[in-house]
Amino acid sequence: MNPVTTIVHALIALGSVIIGLFGAIGRLARFALAVVTRLVRPPYYPAQLFEQMLVIGYFSLPVVGLTALFTGSALAQQIYIGGSRFNASSTVPAVTVIGIVRELGPVLGGLMVAGRVASAMAAEIGTMRVTEQIDALTTLRTDPFRYLIGPRVVAAVLVMPVLVLASNALGVMGGWLLATQRLNFNSAAYLNTTAQYLKWDDVASSMVKAAVFGFFIALMGCYHGYHSSGGAAGVGRATTNAVVSAFILILLSNLIITVIVFGS
């Protein structure tokens, strides 16, 4: 094949990928804008909101709490091993609380909730789409964005900071338990050092991350479910895409927020 022709075909393929990427970003942005603009206008559905707060928040607490507890314990153990090489094992309380509150608490909590909630939202709304229940809502003069998507987005934004706050507390407790029971740390000294190095900026950034993660989790679940097609196979694809895209947005937004808050 002519080298020029090969280069042209490669450029065409690359251009198609880039155009498709920007098209997907544009469709997602329009969807998010539609959700936000319709949230501020009535009618409102408080029953749907409270139900979603229960589903997203309360039912996610066990998995988020266990993940944080085990992660905090493992983190304290690893910091102790690494610090012992440089005679800095006393840094375990400070590094553990900073690592949990700034990064591991919100990120791991967001990923666990995304795996549980985004997939469920995509499956539920996707099933409603392929069975034409969403079309039926529109026929009955009920806006799907206000009735289905809005309560899920608002509920996720409201409950994620609470979940992450619990995740941070349990993560720090996991590190404290391991340090005092296995590494022979003094309990009072460990807690005093933890309180000394925990700053308000750390907690505030963690809460901001949690709210942003909650928005992306619900947005991805609803977006992929709302645009699913092709029967059961389409719902399965929507579920997978919702989880993967939520993971990517959580990690990307975490990096951006971290650089903005702590970059200086």
Residue extents of the structural domains in the chain: 1-41, 45-262
CA 182 to chain centroid, in Å, comes to 32
Furthest CA-CA distance within the chain: 75
CA distances, 137 to each of 1, 133, 171, 201 (Å): 55, 6, 43, 44
pTM of the model: 0.89
φ/ψ of 116, rounded to 5, equals -90, -45
**CA dist., res. 171 & res. 110, Å (int):** 14
How far is C-alpha 96 from the chain's CA centre? 21
Q: Dihedral angle at the C-alpha atoms of 28, 34, 35, 38, nearest 10 degrees?
A: 180
Question: What are the distances in angstroms from CA 85 to CA 40, 72, 79, 184?
Answer: 56, 21, 10, 17
Question: From first to last of its 264 residues, what are the pLDDT tens digits of the chain?
Answer: 577 777 877 888 888 888 888 888 888 888 888 888 888 888 888 899 999 999 998 899 999 999 999 999 999 998 888 877 777 777 888 888 999 998 999 999 999 999 999 999 999 999 988 888 888 888 888 888 888 898 999 999 999 999 999 999 999 999 999 988 888 888 888 889 888 888 888 899 999 999 999 999 999 999 998 888 877 888 888 899 999 999 999 999 999 998 888 766
